[in-house]
Structure 1
């Protein structure tokens, strides 16, 4: 005869095993459905393993052409000596100037986009109590601006304003508004609302509650998102130069078109170093802001 306690434990163990079997069955069904969907996506997009395997050697061939032929004995020689760093970066002064222009494009576009995104994020945050029609309109507007790629906006603005940096700045700023607006609104929705309730209860307006209760709490996250977007925009500014929107992208498109292989790697390396510098700077700035806010 079993004790009542052991009977209850056995019943719990049996229930646990049944629940575990159900979860395993559900997981297996989910994995099977996911596998079918992935297979269908690969078939429709012509993602064939044989094509991928066949293409990898060609990637290696291209990289072998892009990488410079440096020679240790001539590494520090002048720009007229093949195999030297100076020969590899023989147009360094012009490239740095174009990269600086690209960084300025990204900075201005990020500042413009972040400013507009900040204004739109408050009504786009569901927890802050904006009228539903304002909330829906703002959300749809942000979705529309971030859905269209920057290069499409750049093509439109190049046609409207002509070839140059202005078209690139406007294209990146417009896309940045949509992307940062969504991130800013999500960050504001995660803010503790007791300060908000306190400001509202003491007679503060909706705008005052946004300014004094929500913004200080969300500021570190907003700054982090903006700095991350600055990095993204630096890369975007390099790409949209392919359509005549200014910056180092035009130079990169030119050297790719003419198969100046070593120049391709030199320009890409400069862009990588610029992104690394921005990342280190933004991290220090974010920590300073967090120290001031907290």
Structure 2
């Protein structure tokens, strides 16, 4: 039976082999150049950060030793008594945790609404004016570039201590983060429904309402839930600058070396965040599954 594989002429094979070797050589040079740049950037960052490996090695033991120090002393014979003594402030901490969750919830809600409004103005496929798109995108960049803790510190100086600075800080940062993500989703939609609404005489608002929103709403909700998870962790830190929540008690316990209180508060925060992550992850999976089944 004759072979179905035909051999190329020797000259053509040599040419293809030479092209292959040249392509491999180019790829290797690019990889080597990338590694050199990465190494140079690492060395420069270490120099600017005054990294001292000797000092790091000598003092690394302090990191695990702190966690050993805050570990509660629990005995099986007196377990309930030890747990009650460890969690002596559970009522107060539980209330502060609820404040933290509310700060994250309200901040996420306000930021999601603002990001939802601005994302359409930042989408180049919906807005013809390059100026409007440019301004909307730069504003969103500003909102998400400035750290939340900086916004919180500014608002504490403006409005005083309490949850309001934390809510405003999270809302502004969430506006920038979600606005960026929402705009990317909008720019990847199917344009046929948009063209249909425009062709039938619909206004820009009607086009967004009936042709864009139905395509993106599930992704928007999924991103908003993911952001809520992040904001719960962020809200726990807002208290470091007096912006409400459990963070204020945590930083006070750290500064005063109340080791058992530090570990108790950390455990409460970790358990709360894990529960929220688990719940929102299930909701996001259902939303993504419904969207994929369409």
Same fold (TM over 0.5): yes
Q: CA separation of 1:15/1:288 partners in 2, compared to 1, >3 Å: closer, same or farther?
A: closer
Tell me by how many angstroms 1:4 deviates.
6.2
Match of 1:136 in 2: 134
- Give the Cα separation in 2 of the matches to 1:288 and 1:23: 42
- Give the Cα separation in 1 of the matches to 2:112 and 2:22: 52
Summarize the alignment of residues 209-248 of structure 1 with structure 2, pairs less than 5 Å apart.
Answer: 209-248=207-246
Q: CA separation of 1:126/1:86 partners in 2, compared to 1, >3 Å: closer, same or farther?
A: same
Unaligned runs of 5+ in 1: 79-83
Q: Which among 65, 70, 73 is matched to residue 69 of structure 1?
A: 73
Tell me by how many angstroms 1:158 deviates.
1.4
- Give the Cα separation in 1 of the matches to 2:282 and 2:212: 23
After superposition, give the CA deviation of every residue in 1:76-129 in whole Å (9 maximum; x if it has no partner): x23xxxxx2222212111111110111001100100011011000001112223
SS at match of 2:77: helix
Tell me by how many angstroms 1:130 deviates.
4.0
Tell me by how many angstroms 1:5 deviates.
2.0
Contact 1:141 1:178 in 2 (8 A): yes
TM-score normalized by the length of structure 2: 0.91
Unaligned runs of 5+ in 2: 1-6
SS at match of 1:62: helix
Q: Which among 241, 253, 259 is matched to residue 257 of structure 2?
A: 259
Q: State whether structure 2 residue 10 is matched by structure 1 residue 6.
A: yes
Contact 2:124 2:133 in 1 (8 A): yes
Match of 2:4 in 1: none
Q: State whether structure 2 residue 9 is matched by structure 1 residue 30.
A: no
Match of 1:151 in 2: 149
- Give the Cα separation in 2 of the matches to 1:4 and 1:99: 73
After superposition, give the CA deviation of every residue in 1:191-219 in whole Å (9 maximum; x if it has no partner): 22222222222222222222222222222
> Which deviates more from structure 2 when the two are superposed, residues 140-149 or residues 199-208?
199-208
Supply the RMSD in Å over aligned alpha carbons. 1.8
- Give the Cα separation in 2 of the matches to 1:188 and 1:4: 49
Match of 2:248 in 1: 250
Contact 2:120 2:126 in 1 (8 A): yes
Contact 1:123 1:130 in 2 (8 A): no
Q: State whether structure 2 residue 61 is matched by structure 1 residue 57.
A: yes
Tell me by how many angstroms 1:72 deviates.
2.3
Summarize the alignment of residues 58-97 of structure 1 with structure 2, pairs less than 5 Å apart.
Answer: 58-75=62-79, 77-78=80-81, 84-97=82-95
Aligned length: 286
Match of 1:21 in 2: 25
